[in-house]
Amino acid sequence: MRTQRRRPPAPAARVDAGRVARLLRLGVLLLAPALVCGCGGRRSTLAPHSPQTHLIAMLWWWMLGAAAVVFLGAVGLIALAWLRRRVPGLPFVGEREDLAGGMVVVFGIVIPLVVLIALFAAANLYVIRSSAAPSPRSTRLAVDVIGHQWWWEVWYPGTSAVTANEIHIPVRTRVDVTATSADVIHSFWVPRLARKIDMIPGRENHVLLYASSPGVYGGQCSEFCGVAHAYMGVRVFAEAPASFQSWLANMAKPALTAKAAEARRGERLFMSSQCASCHQIRGTPAQATVGPDLTHVASRTSLAATTIANSAGELAAWITNPQAIKSGDRMPDLGLSQGEVADLVAYLEELR
């Protein structure tokens, strides 16, 4: 017969208050940026500016609430189990099997079923339906957006306007966005205005874009699409219908001709160098479509899919070495002299 050796009781763990405090501080430190970056600011799903994103945010809060109740319930039951644990020598107070079985049924089957069915119904019957692709007849404006590695091409069907990365729409107007891709799968996402929509090569998807109030709404490609994916931002400008119309009328026009001597040199250089083999400037011999249309590049607020501001200095830095700004990007470093870059910047700055 085996003899069972009694283990000596484990020494009670001493709780080191200082260590706990340090761990807590570390936890807060690690969590704080996630909370601040993920849930606030210009790209937040929780700051909706359209009826459909409002519903999405509400659904999110309801899911958080339901999950919090379930989580706290589970933690409470664990605590209860621990308080009522079997302690040798003491009478066990939890010897009620009928009660235990009932709790398993209620907390393990009934509550999850009710919560999941309610959330499924709210999400599918209500939120997804009301944020779904619009029927073209219910919209007032159509915009075509084409994803590229790593920028957005933007067309306004029925006009000759073409632009990149900055989409203007009239405020309080239902806009039908047709989304597709020129290369890999991207995803068009402007969290405060619309739900996500995948951009798939050879396929056209639709999403309703609507802004309840004027403003600039940030967006981001949300489908990993290669090295510069994180630098594939987009901006939506929702403005009064009159200023939208004048913006669109300007976009539809061909480029202005260069005026200043420096800008004229820049224009000649642009047309005779590799720039013109990748970019289009409407009204000039530059007709290529590898990179963004630059016909009115000076009227944008940002460059390189919102990676940098559109200032003379940033533009010069971009033309000098795009790879230093957006590594892996499809625009090569062309080894231009400082003088050539200055001429090109003078030219592009005139393209309002």
- Kindly list the residues in this chain that would bind ligand HEC in the complex (CB under 6 A): 150-151, 164-165, 270, 273-275, 277-279, 290-292, 294, 297, 300, 303-305, 315, 319, 326, 329-332, 334, 336, 344, 348
Gyration radius from the chain CA atoms: 29
Contact call for residue 208 and Cu ion (CB under 5 A): no
Q: What is the strand order of the sheet 205-209 is part of?
A: 162-164, 151-155, 141-148, 175-181, 205-209
Runs of H (alpha helix) within 84-142: 97-105, 111-121, 128-130
65 vs 332, which CB is nearer to ligand HEC? Answer: 332
Reduced to 3 states (helix: H, G, I; strand: E, B; else coil), residue 2 is coil
Q: Candidates 211, 232, 294, 345: give the one binding Cu ion (CB under 5 A).
A: 232
Q: What does 186 interact with, of Cu ion, ligand HEC, none (CB < 5 to 8 A by kind)?
A: Cu ion
- Residue 330 interacts, among Cu ion, ligand HEC, none and using kind-specific CB cut-offs from 5 to 8 Å, with ligand HEC
302 φ/ψ sector (left φ>0, alpha ψ -120 to 50, else beta): beta
C-beta closer to ligand HEC: residue 96 or 253: 253
CA distance 141 to 314: 33
Task: Compute CA distances 105 → 80, 100, 101, 113, 326, whole Å.
Answer: 17, 9, 6, 11, 55
Structure token pair of residue 295: 């016909």
Select from 25-33, 57-65, 217-225, 242-250 the region that touches Cu ion (CB under 5 A): 217-225
Return the one option of ligand HEC, Cu ion, none that residue 295 interacts with (CB less than 5 to 8 A, by type).
none
- Say whether residue 225 binds Cu ion (CB under 5 A): yes
Tell me which amino acid residue 173 is.
T
| CB closer to Cu ion out of 159 and 327 | 327
Choose the contact partner of 225 out of Cu ion, ligand HEC, none; CB within 5 to 8 A by kind. Cu ion
- Rounded Cα gap, residues 18 and 7, in angstroms: 31
3-class DSSP assignment, residue 160: coil
Question: Please, what sign has the CA dihedral across residues 290, 296, 302, 308?
Answer: positive
Residue closer to Cu ion (CB basis): 143 or 234? 234
Contact between 285 and 277 under an 8 Å Cβ cutoff? The reply is no
The smaller minimum CB distance to ligand HEC, of residues 133 and 256, is found at 256
H helix intervals, 40-89: 51-83
Nearer to ligand HEC, 134 or 291 (CB): 291
| Subset of residues 254 to 283 that bind Cu ion, contact rule: CB under 5 A | none
The contact mask relative to Cu ion for 159-188 (x = CB under 5 A, - = no) is ---------------------------x--
Tell me whether residue 72 or residue 324 sits nearer to ligand HEC (CB atom). Answer: 324
Q: Pick from ligand HEC, Cu ion, none: which does 192 bind, CB < 5 to 8 A by kind?
A: none
**Residues lying near Cu ion in the complex (CB under 5 A):** 186, 221, 225, 232
